[in-house]
Each structure stands twice: as C-alpha cells, then as structure tokens.
Copies of this chain bind each other. A is one copy, B any other.
Amino acid sequence: MAVTMMDIAKRLEISAATVSRVLSGKGTGYISSGTRERVLEAARAMGYRPNRVAQGLVSGKTKVFALWLRNSDAPFYAKMPRVLAELGMHAGYEMILSGYRDRGGETLPPGAEEYDINAWPVDGIIAADCPKRVEQYRQWNPVGGAPIVMVATDENPEVDSIAFDHEVGVEAAMQHLIKIGCQRIVHLTAWCSVSAVQRCRQKVYERVISEAGLAKRVSVAADETRATAREHVKKLWSEAKFDGLFCINDDVAIGAHRGLADIGVTVGKDVALVGCDDIETAAYMTPSLTTIQQPVEAMCTRAWEMLEQRWAEPKAPLQQERIMPTLVVRESTSQFGK
C-alpha cells in the first residue's frame, strides 16, 4: 500500500490535519518550524506521494484538462497534443487526450455518447474542430460543466474560441494563383465534419473566381486523406485538364502532388498547387508546397491562456478571436509558366 498522511501522522504522533497543512503549504506561518521539518523529513523518508484522487474529491478540482481532437491522424492536429501537454505541465496540469476518428458525418461515432457521459471530470476542455461534441457536452451539463475553449473553428457561439480567419487566407491564395496566370483553377475539397470551414473556403473560392471572370470547378473527394486525394486527382485530370489547384488542406494537396507526379504532370510548371495549413511536410516536398500558413502553436498558446483566464474569472465576457493566416509561397507556384 502507498503511504498516506495518516501514516506520517501516526509515526510522528501528531494529527493528520497538521501533516496536511505542512505538505499542502497552506499553513505557512502557523506551523512551528520544528514540526514542519519533522513532517517534511518523514514524508521524504517514507516515500510519501500525495493521492490526487483524494485531493480531487475534496477540492472538486482535478488539475486535469481534456483535449478533444476531431481527427488526430492528420499532421495538422497531431502537433496540438504535444504543445498543449507541455503548456499544461508547466502549470501543473495533466492532459487527457480523447480523439475520435472523424467519420465525415454529422453524428458522433458509436459508443461516443456513452463514453462522454461517463468521462473523467476535468477542469477544462480544449476542443479542436468538434462542434457537435461541444454541443452535446453542454447539453448534458447545463450547469457545472467544465469551461470549454474551441480551437481551429468557432461554430459554437457560446464558448470562448480561437480560430483562423478562413476568408483572408483563401482570398490571398486565390489572388496569388490568378496573378501568376492560372486560367483554369480547380478547388479540391473533401467531406468532413467541420462543414462550416469547408463551405466557407469554397464560397471564397467561388467569389474570387467569378470576380476574375474565370470558370469555377469544384471537386469533392470522399475524405481528407492523402491516399484518397492521390487517386481523386488523377480522375480529375483525365476528365479535364487544369492549371491551378487549390486544396482544402495540405494533406489533400500532398496527395494531389503525388497523384499528379504519378501521371507525369509536373507540379509547379504544368499545375500551380496550393494547400492549406502549412504542415511541416509542405516544405519538404519536391517541389515544395505553397500553402496558407495557420500557426498551430500560437493558437494552442492562446487557447491555453483563454482557459486560464476563464478559470480565473468564470463570469468574464466571452472571448472569440481569430488569427490571420498568411500565404507562404513556395516552388509549387513560384515556377509556374517559366
């Protein structure tokens, strides 16, 4: 059995309350330095380790927060766990990671509801791109639920959020493609749960295309994976050629990049290619991938700040911020027409 405060108290013939006061640091000033020393010493000698479950029961706080991820297989999301776990660690928090694989539909995967109902009590939640789940959580916990910060997307108006400005990025990407001389620009998108982002990007694409007097052509892949995009782009090309391709995200763009290489189309020369997110691999492709950079670390840092602020002031007004993405021009567009 693990050693408890009671064990220390008995050994020193004092009360458990005193031990608690010393070990928790709450009684600073009221404890005789004699007993303080002896308690500290005994704790060390006996290998005492606080039982956080017991602390949690009495305090109502667990010092644990949850990270909800929509699709942690995608490199864009894959960075978040490490960043947030470190941020939390420095503040004395641990992180429960819970990610469903995205199934592209509107509902949660089987078993998810039950799972969430029975979830471990956390002090806060950071929810990346899973508005449905946020909605459900708030429904089940009308009062007393943990504060939530939504990241990446902000579909739910009733919680703090830090998202990207999807319009600005797409606008910049499209203007870039037009400026370098693309005439037939295709938008390659994909089914996913965060349909608002998808729809928003498509809308901007369509607006810019029509403002430029070009013909629009939108193609929807079955999912957001690289493998699907790789095959999809071949079909797309065989149906009708194009000279510009704007993809919903970098994974789709990387799949397309490879798919075009497979059929002998030279990315960067024959087709200008733009992705979205700026995951690490974008810079390592040959040719490297022009993309809309969305700074994940900055987003996580701000999300964590927001959560801490919400803990400090539960009644403070809602914060809903947006980060401006920037276009990173690389070889997949810079050599076009040359």
Contact = CB atoms under 8 A, between A and B. Distances in A.
Interface in A109-126: 111, 115, 117-121
B111 A90 contact: yes
Nearest to A98: B85
Given A78-B75, A98-B95, A49 B117 contact: yes
Contact of A96 (B50, B94, B230): B94
Contacts of A255: 284
A263 to B, nearest CB: 12
A285 interface: yes
Interface residues of A, number: 62
Interface string A116-151: 011111000000000000000000111110000000
A104 interface: no
Given A73-B82, A96-B96, A120 B285 contact: no
Interface string A251-286: 000110110010000000000000000001101111
A225 to B, nearest CB: 9
B284 A64 contact: no
Contacts of A121: 51-53
B81 A99 contact: yes
A40 interface: no
A2 interface: yes
B281 A120 contact: no
A103 B8 CA distance: 37
Contacts of A286: 257-258, 261, 285-286
Given A49-B117, A95-B96, A72 B62 contact: no
B118 A64 contact: no
A89 B85 contact: no
Contact of A98 (B94, B99, B101, B117): B94
A220 interface: no
B50 A118 contact: yes
Contacts of A73: 79, 82
A262 to B, nearest CB: 9
Contact of A85 (B57, B90, B97, B119): B97
Interface string A38-63: 00000000010111111011000011
Contacts of A50: 118
A137 to B, nearest CB: 11
A43 to B, nearest CB: 11
Contacts of A82: 69, 72-73, 99, 101
Given A57-B53, A82-B99, A85-B99, A120 B94 contact: yes
A97 B95 contact: yes
A27 to B, nearest CB: 19
11 contacts: A52-B119, A53-B57, A53-B121, A72-B82, A78-B78, A92-B115, A94-B96, A94-B119, A96-B97, A254-B284, A281-B284
Interface of A: 1-2, 47, 49-54, 56-57, 62-64, 67, 69, 72-73, 75, 78-79, 81-82, 85-86, 89-90, 92, 94-101, 111, 115, 117-121, 140-144, 226, 230, 254-255, 257-258, 261, 280-281, 283-286, 288
